[in-house]
Every structure is written in structure tokens, then in C-alpha cells.
Structure 1
Amino acid sequence: MKDLGRIGFSEDQAALLEVAADFCQRRSPVATVRRLMEDELGHDPAVWAEMGDLGWLGVAIPEAFGGSGLGLAEVVPLVEQMGRRLMAGPFVSTTLAAQALIAGGTEAQKLEHLPRLAAGEAAAIALGEPDTDWEPDTISAAARRGDGGRLSLSGRKILVSDAGAARRLIVAVRLDGAPALVLLTPEDLPAGALRRETVIDETRRSFSLTLDGVTVAEDRLLDPDRAGATLEHLHLAANLLAAADMVGGTQACIDYTLDYLRTRTQFGKVIGSYQALKHPMVDAYTRYEQARSHLYSAAHCFNEQGTGEIAVRMAKAAADGAYSFAADRSIQFHGGFGFTWDCDAQLYRRRAIWHAAQFGDAAFHRKKLARLLF
């Protein structure tokens, strides 16, 4: 086990954090966030192209496949700053699809698809189902081998983030009684297979995917022998990046609330001077610092067997609690205005709820931790 007492930013993380903080602040002010909420695509293609030019899409992709050869630890500061600015776009979805190929793809699939993702093609993963319990191996969608080396798919996926913009979709199914992953393209899908969902966080673009009638060549199947391990890896990677987004959002929510408390006056006093508001904000900041410490601890030891899983689940549980608490206090402290659409506090609360529904909420991860630790 690594010496957890020496955790800090690596040089790569510090450099990426600095660049990302500036980029996200300039490219995703709240006015832009609100404008893109009304946009069908939901993100700015020009900003997406800039991310590609900066090399962000290849940060965690090996150099042999067109990436930088770093890891998810270096993706964390990028996603943290995106969450801080509520930045929209398929960055996390594409990163997770790349992780699926790295962990479970054949060499031919890696050579064909990873350079395209590093160059800027968006991708997505389709894991969740209507009866999901957040366990990676709970899969009802099915694949069946047919004539001519074809796979016939059936079932339904939900909460597929960024599927509308994706040029690659990696779908979890059950084949011959075991988990499997299949790579699809938009051309494989019949009309109406993708339908946009209405979700709590309107900065997100989420879709349901109907697999009935989809047939693909059997070479679209990722390595069956590694499918189970790949799903476990994706589950932890998704929670690590969700925790990063939530930590960044928590910081922004606290800053937004403090700005209001320092300027709003009541009974001749700035309301931030009242202890009834001071103490909860201290609690919010303490939770934020704890969650951020857990986040970078998890990034530090993500690839360590056992320790990495524990750290990621701690990070997601801490981030869930910190984000929800900070957003709730922000809404309350803004008074009647806090409950309106015009108040930005509700944007953070919606994002916190969205993340709790993705890959496990705090209670789910604490339950898993109880089994791992005791």
C-alpha cells in the first residue's frame, strides 16, 4: 500500500488543474450554462473541439493508441473544474468508453477506436436499466448468437449520458449467461431506438436505448473473458469521476452562497454575520475539504487492488453528502429567491441529485464499505 500520508498533487495533476480552472471559467460561465440547457445538443461543439486540441480526450489513453499515456488520476482535476463550472459535454462519457476499451477491448478494437476517441470522437457507455440496483453485473439486456456470425440484441438501457452525440456506444448485455460488452455505432440503431429522457439535471443529455432489433457482427463483442472485470473497473471509474464533478460543484456552491451572505443585508446587518448562517457554512466547507481529500486519495490509489475500491467508495459517499448539504443550505439561505428558477442554487442541487442516481448514492457505497472494511 502506498503511504497515504504523502498524498498530494503530482506535477501533471497540478498543471492540468491550473489549465482546466482557467479554461472552464472562460468557456462555461453560468450564462452559457443556462443557454445550453435550452439547446438540443446541450453542449458547444467548438468547446469540445478545443478540449481535443488541448489533449484532454487522450489524457488516460496509452500513447500507443494516440493518447498521453497518463491515467484517471490526471483526469480527476479536469472533471473537478468542469463540475465547478457546471460545464456540459460528453467528456466523462467518452473517457469511460475509452476505459472500457482499454480494460476489455481486443487489440484490434483498441487500434481502431481509441485513436478516434483521443482525436475527438464522442462516445458513451450504456449500463443502467429500468430495474438497476447499481451493481455492475445486474444486466437484463441480452445478446444471442445467430446465423452468419451475427449477434442479436434485446432489452432496454436508461440514463445513457450523451448518447445523442456519441459515435461509439458500449453496451452491457448478457450473453450465454455471462456479462458481455458490445460496441455499437449510430448506424447500427433503428429509427427511434434512442429517445431523449427528461432528467432532474437539465445541463445533462440523457437517453434511453432500445436494443430490440439491433444486430451486429460478432467481432463487435469486447473480450468476453474480461467483461466482468471491465464492468467492475467502469463502475469504480465512473464513481471516481462523479466524485470529482461533485467536489468541484460543492466548491462553486459554497462560493456562490458566500457571495450572497456577504452582500445581502437584513435589519441593518449583513446576513453572513449571523451565527445561524455562519455555522452551517463552516460545516459545508469542512465537508467539502473532507470530500476533496477523499477524492485525491482515491485518485492516488485507484489502481491498487482492494485499496482503490475502498477509496473510491469513500470519495463518492463523501462527495454525495457534501454536495447535497451545500446545495440545500444555499437554497435555504437565499430565502424565497432560492426556490426560484432564476437562483443558481437549484442548478447545483439538481446536479447533486443526478449524481446520486448514477452508479450509486452515499447509502449504497456505505453499505459496500461496511462489507469491505468489517
Structure 2
Amino acid sequence: MSDIDDAGSLPTHIRFSDEQAMLLDSAVAFCKERSPSLTVRGLLASETGYDPAVWDAIVQMGWTGLAIPEAYGGSGLPIGHLAVIAEPMGRPLLATPFTSTQLCIQGLVAGGSAAQQARWLPMLAQGTVGTVALFEEEGHWDLAQPQSRATVAGGTATLHGAKTLVTDAAVAGVVLVSVQVDGAPALAVLPTAGLAQGALQRETVIDETRRAYRLVLDGLTVPADALITGAAALAALAAMRTAAWLLISAECAGGMAGALDVIVDYLNTRTAFGRKIGSYQGLKHPSADILNSLERARSHVAHAATLLNEGDDAEVALRMAQVEAGDGLVFAGDRAVQFHGRFGF
């Protein structure tokens, strides 16, 4: 057994299995080495937003296939293990299509047909990037009520509509697209090879460590057997939502830890009026608040991951993790800017 202190993290006592501890140790070391701040800034200006060499290394370590069944070239581990990797990725803002790919994988594992799984899961395990297209500009908050449609004629499904905030779409090999088929929720397994020019349009988002695109569906076609319908579609949507809550919450917890690292270093370096600025209560107290929020976020993420690994209902735990980690990261980032800029007090 191990705990998160072994990986050089902040004081908390979340226990891991030996397998999880090995994953955590390797993830912390890898992410710290491969994602220094200068590298992150350089990638912001790049076309794809990530380093393909880093992605290849992640694939070689087997992280992309951790939650893919062994029959398709993966490790067959439960999804909760992914959180052990996601938090260290968030701490130095490691830019990769890892989360996008895992959402695609979980959708296929939960709802894909045998043929769809046999075609795509081995490729995703071996490094093909996947993503999901679930959001629409005029869309409903419920993922099971998309406005985009697919009409089936003969053996072909024609897609209609548009999706927004499709992360990593420009480098993906496959996209799971939520659509309606005869008024019911469905998914289309859409290969990106051969997409018409203009089908992908780069979007401007606040977080430039991720690339997001608008995907125009009008006129795109897929074979009818590339659709996921009925109960399988609902299962796939639920699995993708679960994976998103878990991984993004873990990333946010990591980002909070990274912000606190920067804050503490600065408070112990800069002096004002003959004292380290970290000695002033106006800076100490918000920093302690960040640490408390980080501890809560990590606990919620670990609890949710444990429930998922044991096959229990984790929705409440995931929602709690999402709120704590998301709000905590916003607070930590805001305080980091204020402290460094000496503004806002």
C-alpha cells in the first residue's frame, strides 16, 4: 500500500493499491519532466496544442488502454484507475488528448456493438486519438436530447446539424457524435478521415491548453451500422458523462495543486517591508483555504473512483467532486493572479 505523499504531493492520506501507487509514481515523474511551464506556453501557440512525442510515450506506457478490455489490447482495469493518472496531468497542465480519447473509449465500451468495438478499441489502445461531440449551441442540458439528427435510408445514415466544443477533433481518428434517430437519442461513430473541408472550425476558448472545434454535420454520412441506438446509446452517454466527471475533476484537483505550488513558492520568495509576503495574514489565509479545498477535492475524487472500481453508484460522489474541484481551481487560479500581480486586495 502507498499514499499520495510518496509521490511528493501535498499532505493527504489517500490510500492506494500497489498497482495504483505504481501508476501514480510514474505519472507524477513523467508529467513533471515532460510538461514544464515553458513547454506549456510553447504549445499554446502550436497548431495541435500538444506534443505528439509525449502522446507516443503515453501510449507506450499503456495509459491509453488502461480501461479497455484485454480482448481489445487494453489492460482491462476499472475506470477509477484513470483518476490516478489524470490528477498528475492536471498539476503541470500537461496538454494531451488523453481525456477526449478516454471519453470515446468509455462510450464504445459501454454501448458499442461487437463490430464497432473490434474496429476501434484496438486502435484507440494503440494511440489513435478519439473524441466526443455532445454539445450544441442551442442544445439541451440533457445529453439524451440532442438537436442534431441522423436520417437512415437503406444502409446509410445522413447527419444533420452542428456540434460545438469538440475537443481535439483536428487530430482525432474517430468521433462519437450524439444525434436523434426517429426522435430517440443515438450516437454515430464518425471516422474523421475524409471529412469535408470546413467541417471542422477552430473555436476560441478560455483554456488554450485544449483545442476545441465546431463540427458541421450537414451532409456527412456513415453506414447505418455505425449508429448506436436504443438502450446501448443511453448506456454510452451515461458512461461518457461519468468518465468526464471523474477525469476533469481529477485534472482540476491537479491544477489546484499546481497553482498552490506556484503561490507557496512566491510567498516564500518575495519580500515586502522587510518580510516575506507569506507572513501576512491576507495571503496566508486564502492559501490555507486553497489547501483545504484541495484536500476535499482529492477526497471526493478518490471516493468516487473507489465506488466506480467496486461497481457501486457513484453519481452523488462524482457531482460532489466536480463542484469541489471545479470551484476550488477557479479560486486557486484567481488568488494566484492576485498574489503575483499585487492586485485585488
TM-score by length of 2: 0.93
How far the C-alpha of 1:131 sits from its partner, in A, is 2.3
- Partner in structure 2 of residue 324 of structure 1: 330
1: CA distance, partners of 2:238 / 2:290: 32
- Partner in structure 2 of residue 78 of structure 1: 85
1: CA distance, partners of 2:97 / 2:89: 11
For 1:8, the aligned partner's letter is R
How far the C-alpha of 1:203 sits from its partner, in A, is 1.2
After superposition, give the CA deviation of every residue in 1:59-96 in whole Å (9 maximum; x if it has no partner): 01010110001022111111111100101111111111
Fraction of identical pairs, as percent: 48
- Partner in structure 2 of residue 19 of structure 1: 26
- Partner in structure 2 of residue 258 of structure 1: 264
How far the C-alpha of 1:223 sits from its partner, in A, is 4.7
For 1:64, the aligned partner's letter is A
How far the C-alpha of 1:104 sits from its partner, in A, is 0.4
Contact 2:79–2:309 under 8 Å retained in 1? no
Q: Does the residue aligned with 2:251 lie in a helix, a strand or coil?
A: helix
Contact 2:269–2:276 under 8 Å retained in 1? yes
Contact 1:302–1:311 under 8 Å retained in 2? no
1: CA distance, partners of 2:17 / 2:217: 43
How far the C-alpha of 1:286 sits from its partner, in A, is 0.4
Cα-Cα RMSD: 1.6
Is residue 196 of structure 2 the alignment partner of residue 190 of structure 1?
yes
Q: Does the residue aligned with 1:88 lie in a helix, a strand or coil?
A: coil
For 1:271, the aligned partner's letter is I
- Partner in structure 2 of residue 204 of structure 1: 210
Q: Give the counterpart of 2:306 among 300, 303, 307.
A: 300
Q: Structure 1 pair 288/129, CA: closer, same or farther in 2 (3 Å)? A: same
Q: Structure 1 pair 236/210, CA: closer, same or farther in 2 (3 Å)? A: same
Bigger CA drift: 297-306 or 268-277? 297-306
Note the residue ranges of structure 1 that are not aligned, 5 or more in a row: 1-5, 339-374
For 2:319, the aligned partner's letter is R
How far the C-alpha of 1:306 sits from its partner, in A, is 7.0
- Partner in structure 2 of residue 286 of structure 1: 292
Is residue 158 of structure 2 the alignment partner of residue 158 of structure 1?
no
2: CA distance, partners of 1:337 / 1:11: 45
For 2:322, the aligned partner's letter is K
2: CA distance, partners of 1:306 / 1:157: 32
How far the C-alpha of 1:133 sits from its partner, in A, is 4.6
How far the C-alpha of 1:229 sits from its partner, in A, is 2.2
How far the C-alpha of 1:248 sits from its partner, in A, is 0.4
Q: How many positions carry a matched residue from both structures?
A: 332
For 1:127, the aligned partner's letter is L
2: CA distance, partners of 1:55 / 1:230: 23
2: CA distance, partners of 1:335 / 1:189: 45
For 2:295, the aligned partner's letter is E
Contact 2:78–2:309 under 8 Å retained in 1? no
2: CA distance, partners of 1:104 / 1:269: 60
Is residue 247 of structure 2 the alignment partner of residue 241 of structure 1?
yes
Note the residue ranges of structure 2 that are not aligned, 5 or more in a row: 1-12
After superposition, give the CA deviation of every residue in 1:125-149 in whole Å (9 maximum; x if it has no partner): 1001112354221310000112x31
After superposition, give the CA deviation of every residue in 1:108-129 in whole Å (9 maximum; x if it has no partner): 1111110110011111110011
Contact 1:302–1:309 under 8 Å retained in 2? no
After superposition, give the CA deviation of every residue in 1:45-64 in whole Å (9 maximum; x if it has no partner): 11111111100110010101
1: CA distance, partners of 2:18 / 2:135: 36
Q: Does the residue aligned with 1:307 lie in a helix, a strand or coil?
A: coil
2: CA distance, partners of 1:7 / 1:271: 31
2: CA distance, partners of 1:144 / 1:25: 47
- Partner in structure 2 of residue 171 of structure 1: 177
For 2:67, the aligned partner's letter is A
Q: Does the residue aligned with 1:58 lie in a helix, a strand or coil?
A: coil
2: CA distance, partners of 1:51 / 1:314: 29
1: CA distance, partners of 2:242 / 2:198: 31
How far the C-alpha of 1:228 sits from its partner, in A, is 1.3
Q: Does the residue aligned with 1:209 lie in a helix, a strand or coil?
A: strand
- Partner in structure 2 of residue 69 of structure 1: 76
Contact 1:188–1:216 under 8 Å retained in 2? no
How far the C-alpha of 1:222 sits from its partner, in A, is 2.3
2: CA distance, partners of 1:36 / 1:129: 27
Q: Give the counterpart of 1:98 among 97, 105, 124.
A: 105
Contact 1:121–1:167 under 8 Å retained in 2? yes
1: CA distance, partners of 2:289 / 2:91: 19
- Partner in structure 2 of residue 135 of structure 1: 142
Q: Give the counterpart of 1:50 among 46, 53, 57.
A: 57
